[in-house]
Amino acid sequence: MMEKTLIIIKPDAFQRGIVGSILARFEHKGLKIVGMKMLKMSPELAKEHYAHLLDKPFYPGLEKFMTSAPLLALVAEGQEAVEVVRKIVGVTNARKAEAGTIRGDFSMSTGRNAIHASDSRETAEKELPRFFKPEELFDYPLNNWESIYAEDEKE
């Protein structure tokens, strides 16, 4: 089942200079990056994106953090992409996240956990249009080296 899912690389990753290292994990896995956008989250967008957390005591801190520095919003496409991406990301509390996951390898925090990813296909369908217009998504073939060399031969 081909799916698209939303990934957000959070402000702490920009501040710590680990954005590229995180992005590379998705490329290496074989997911296709079909959308990519740097933006700053507004308080309004934070309230919409984290509507399920508005009544939590940590929400004000979460909004302050998410609006403090740029984000990188990504759309990754692939078979079972939603579940695959959540597995690569790891659990919310980065101290409990498995080694080998992004949170497990790059963070020691629950709040400043480097990355967001849609938690289900239904959530992905709601979150994608929140950050990307249809014309901001790209379709292109994922090549391996064999197919790239085959194209070279023709030129």
Contact footprint for ligand IDP (CB under 6 A):
53, 58, 62, 92, 110-111, 113, 116, 119
Give Dmax (Cα) for the chain. Answer: 61
Q: Pick what 58 binds: ligand IDP, Mg ion, none; C-beta below 5 to 8 Å, kind-dependent.
A: ligand IDP
**Adjacent-strand bridge partners of 99:** 101
For residue 59, the minimal CB distance to ligand IDP (Å) is 8
**Alpha carbon distance 146, 155 (integer Å):** 15
Of the two residues 16 and 147, which places its CB atom closer to ligand IDP in the complex? 16
Binding mask 100-119 for Mg ion (x = CB under 5 A): -------------------x
Partnered with residue 39 across adjacent β-strands are 71
116 is catalytic: yes
Catalytic residue among 28, 49, 52, 116: 116
Nearest to 82 by CA among 119, 27, 113: 119
Q: Which is nearer to Mg ion, 130 or 143 (CB)?
A: 130
Is-contact 98 104, C-beta < 8 A?
A: yes
Q: Which does 62 bind (CB under 5 to 8 A by kind): Mg ion, ligand IDP, none?
A: ligand IDP
d(CA 112, CA 117): 14
Binding site for Mg ion (CB under 5 A): 119
